[in-house]
A and B are shown apart, each in its own frame.
Chain A
Amino acid sequence: MEKVPIQDQEIISEFLVESYENLSRLDQELVEIEKHPKDAALLASIFRTIHTVKGTCGFLGFSTLEKITHQAETLLSQLRDGQRELNPSLISLILETIDATRKVLASIEATGKEGPDLFEDLTERLRIKAQTPATSADQPGPSGAAPVEDRKSEEEAVKSSAVADANIRVGVGLLDKLMDLVGELVLTRNQILQFNTEREDPALNATSQQLNLITTELQEGVMKTRMQPIAMVWNQLPRVVRDMAVSLGKQIALEMEGADTELDRTVIEAIKDPMVHLVRNSCDHGIEMPDVRARAGKPPQGKLTLRALHEGGQVNIEISDDGAGIDIARVKQKAIDRGILTPERAEKLSDREVLNLIFLPGFSMAKAVTNLSGRGVGMDVVKSHIEKIGGIVDLFSRPGEGTTVKIKIPLTLAIIPGLVITSGGERFVVPQASLLELVRLEGDSSEKRIEHVNGTPVYRRRGSLLPVAYLNQVLGLKCSGAAEAVSMVVLQAEDRQFGLVVDGINDTQEIVVKPLGKQLKGLSVYAGATIMGDGRVSLILDVLGIGQRSGVLAESRHETARAATDHKTLEGIEQQRLLLLRAGSFERLAVPLSLVARLEEFPQSAIEHAGGGQVVQYRNRILPLVSLRAVLEPGAPEQETAPDPVQVVVLNDGDRSVGMIVDQILDIAEDTVTGRQKSSRKGLLGSGVVGKRVTDFLDLNQVIQATENWVQGTGGIGNDKRILVADDSAFSRGLIRAGLDMAGYQVVEAGNFDEAIRQLEKQPLNAVVAGLDLPPNGTAALLSAMHRRSEWKDIPVLALADSTEQMQAPDARRAGFQDCQAKFDRVAMLESLDRLASALASPAIEPVPVGEKR
């Protein structure tokens, strides 16, 4: 074969680029063919690729490469011709060949030579392999000769495709430079546009409009040249996963969704290493050995899913495995061992905070250091890489179910839409992606609309409390003085929202995001900086950072699902939404939000006295008021200075409303309740831990009794129907009772089967409301006991399920309840009871099919 002088650097570099591309395609194809060994087309494609590499090597005189690829080609041709079966060891061998080829290529790239390593061992193994079982083993001629013919046609094919293809290769450096220049052009254009508005010159106006259009198009065009599908990064991952799986003895299936999601080149570059690292982590630490998985009741093959999608100007990438998850306790222990945390501090950390420890430098969770991972240079590097490009990494893990790493990165590093705001005389930019709405509070009411709860400002936004922060305060800027209107931007950080009060809201702009220098890296409140149309620098706010710094986004809110309690009947309470409030010496009281109609405030002057109690005119009706302070601490002296206006929680049920005067409304918590304890104190059901703090649960029954006498006297709708609430949890009983009391039912309680029978014997009852697991033998036992007694068998029984799932369960259906509702769905419960209890008058009650109302 004719040798071409290899001084021609351009040919060499083209060869390198092409070969690298071919090799990465090979990686993919080989992993693919392992799954479908019979795919002839795929095999042919692999053969062709290797052949192209080999052909070019020979053409350029790279003899080592030619030798290696030649042997691999021989093997592949045998495969293609069906002389040989595909097996993993064969594939490993071919993959090894590809790695060797890469090494040689790297050497060529660096030095222009093939390097000293001749890979004789590999070549030999390939040769032996090619010869052993094949029939024409000692005749390398045919297998070598056949491709020679192929080669010609192959080369032709390559040429023709190159001509047909309208693509050209452009150096990345050039594209980057273009991008920078376009950025500059955009700024210059902005300045010209500003000039233009100052001078009224029609010619200039026309020209600058034209300039505007062209610049915008140019900008878009240049941006597009740099977009690449994320598959560019993902293509190498099947190989990584396969190698990991083989060397670890695991079975791992890799799934990819959204591989065609396009990203800016720079972003693609930046996420390459983190992606590989995270995938390796999942394979190594996440997915368990097949036997372990089998024991845990999972399929032996682990699943690793990569997902990419565009969302709100960002790209979300998820890497999730169905492995063992992260052992929170072990992370804590590791952190303590390493002196990162004191044991006391560790106790106080939320699970989420603990998970974040993994991102600390030098932190490794591997039990043993392997050559694959565990050297403690990992997640911190991942995080810093992602953050460098303005992205966020988040880790979610459920023990036994797997780990998900979520990466949010900007679509492009270059340009994002942002809202320009001012505060303390400075301009800032809020990324549009985090912006929900703008609120302007005007006139006298403006200050009133932002209320203070325990010193924390909140805003009532369409009925729910929105925590509010003042940008001036967060950043320590001077206050602009009292404005006639309050401007607030409502922001979304992760899954939470808050309002940020600013001095002024300007306009939205496309901004070019630039990173901050390392001196400012520690400032979580900024996401970067940008250059505005006038050439000045403005800071871009980091919404999450602002939220955390101002305290409106406390870590504690993340604390859900921590309480894995075996106390099944209490599950309903644990996931409740609670209104937290303060009254008297009780700093933290909770009321289920489902019982609260509205939060109101009334001026002292509006409170009147009627029927022996306090009332207020409210929506053309008389709302009786009860002071929570007085109920909880009957003997305590009145507040010296009564607050004005008074904060009132309106408890509403149908036609009846009661206002509960509290000192302060603190918050709404959607949280798990742990560490419950019963209380004997009047007005309280018990205490529990909500959001890390001990909280007392109000017994609304007793609170309302305080108004009872005179409320009924003033025409409250009494209800003489008597209901038995049977449930093993005093907590649940209390809450159900609160709902029933509100509706005017007389309520008696029972905690178990015997108590229930005793209550039934004691008085005539109109209905029974029961949980599904009344001890000792379940509620069905009570039901059959009731059926045996003629005077009881017509009492309707409403079953309350802890969850919708339980409602559908066969137990609930079989037992023959008249109806079944979800516990704590107060409205449905009352409707059902109303129906059941009034139907009692007529002897024949049609059994209502369970769950019919759903």
Chain B
Amino acid sequence: MAAATTTLKSQANQAGRQFCTFFVADLFFGVDVLHVQEVLRFQQITRVPQAPEVVEGLINLRGQIVTAIDMRRRLQLPPRDGDQTPMNIVVRTEDGAGSLLVDEIGDVLDVDAASWEPSPENLDSNARGLIRGVYKLKGRLLLVLDTERALDLTGGKGAE
């Protein structure tokens, strides 16, 4: 987590929000930092037979058992390379904590509320349900992940 301090400073006083960013395949996502409990390296994971496919397993977060959701599978993307270990982003939701397994963690970014736009219509239908909107950053787009939905498997998407 190195470079984005300039962005942080320059936009800190604006009406924007802070986002914890991460990558899943070539998608650049952000989650409101207020929803993020912590970011962890890959943890030892216990698989859950018969669970929906997107559930990678359970991790022990200092005595709390947290379900880890593989974001690649959640977004119906091809699997990670074999040697790439995912990172955990533990997010808080109304129903307790959940962990998102992502490829790589980005910086914490301050974004300008004015650059927000609803998610484009032509976005992949798998992803669209999980994306609240898009911030147009310099040179790239930040997709705002709806963490509640990402961890809610009842809607049928990704769930068995």
Contact = CB atoms under 8 A, between A and B. Distances in A.
Contact of B67 (A180, A424, A477, A517): A517
Contact of B60 (A424, A475, A477, A531): A531
A518 B63 CA distance: 18
A516 B49 contact: no
Contact of B95 (A184, A476, A514, A518): A518
Interface in B48-79: 48-52, 55, 57-60, 62-67, 69
Interface in A81-127: none
Interface stretch (A533-541, A620-628, A786-794): A533-541
A805 interface: no
Contacts, number: 73
A225 to B, nearest CB: 19
From B44, B62, B63, residue with most partner A Cβ within 10 Å: B63
A476 B50 contact: yes
Interface centre among B46, B66, B151, B154 (most CB of A within 10 A): B46
Residues of A contacting B: mostly: mixed
B30 interface: no
B69 A519 contact: yes
B47 interface: yes
Contacts of A536: 44, 46, 60
A475 B50 contact: yes
A519 B67 contact: yes
A697 interface: no
Interface residues of A, number: 28
Given A477-B49, A537-B60, A539-B46, A519 B65 contact: no
A336 to B, nearest CB: 25
Nearest to B93: A518
B96 interface: yes
A520 B51 contact: yes
Nearest to A183: B63
Given A519-B153, A520-B55, A514 B64 contact: yes
A526 interface: yes
A234 to B, nearest CB: 30
Nearest to A517: B67
Contacts of B66: 517
Interface residues of B, number: 28
A394 to B, nearest CB: 24
B152 interface: yes
B98 interface: yes
A180 B63 CA distance: 8
Contacts of A183: 63
A531 B65 contact: yes
A529 interface: yes
B65 A426 contact: no
Interface string A488-527: 0000000000000000000000000011111110110110
Contacts of A525: 50
Given A180-B63, A535-B60, A519 B52 contact: yes
B36 to A, nearest CB: 17
Contacts of B44: 535-536
Contacts of B57: 537
A712 to B, nearest CB: 59
Given A516-B67, A517-B98, A518-B152, A529 B62 contact: no
Contacts of B63: 180, 183-184, 187, 531
B55 A537 contact: no
A98 to B, nearest CB: 35
Interface string A415-441: 000000000101000000000000000
A95 B151 CA distance: 47
Given A183-B63, A187-B63, A523 B50 contact: yes
A525 B46 CA distance: 16
A313 B138 CA distance: 61
Interface string A642-679: 00000000000000000000000000000000000000
Interface string A709-734: 00000000000000000000000000
Contact of B48 (A180, A187, A520, A535): A520
A40 B92 CA distance: 57
A267 B67 CA distance: 24
A45 to B, nearest CB: 45
B16 to A, nearest CB: 31
A668 B95 CA distance: 45
A526 to B, nearest CB: 7
Interface in B96-138: 96, 98
Interface string B6-34: 00000000000000000000000000000
Contact of A537 (B49, B51, B65): B65
Contacts of A476: 49-50
A57 B59 CA distance: 52
B62 A184 contact: yes
A526 B65 CA distance: 14
B59 A537 contact: yes
Contact of A529 (B50, B58, B69, B153): B58
A520 B60 CA distance: 16
Contacts of B50: 475-476, 523, 525
A475 B50 CA distance: 6
A584 B56 CA distance: 49
Interface string A146-189: 00000000000000000000000000000000001001100100
Contacts of A530: 65
Contacts of B64: 514
A516 B65 contact: yes
Contact of A538 (B46, B62, B152): B46
Nearest 9 A-B pairs (CB), nearest first? Answer: A475-B49, A517-B67, A537-B46, A537-B58, A514-B65, A518-B95, A529-B65, A519-B67, A519-B153
Interface of B: 44-52, 55, 57-60, 62-67, 69, 95-96, 98, 151-154
Interface of A: 180, 183-184, 187, 424, 426, 475-477, 514-520, 522-523, 525-526, 529-531, 535-539
5 contacts: A518-B152, A529-B58, A536-B60, A537-B59, A539-B46
Given A519-B151, A529-B46, 5 more contacts: A426-B49, A516-B67, A517-B65, A526-B48, A539-B48
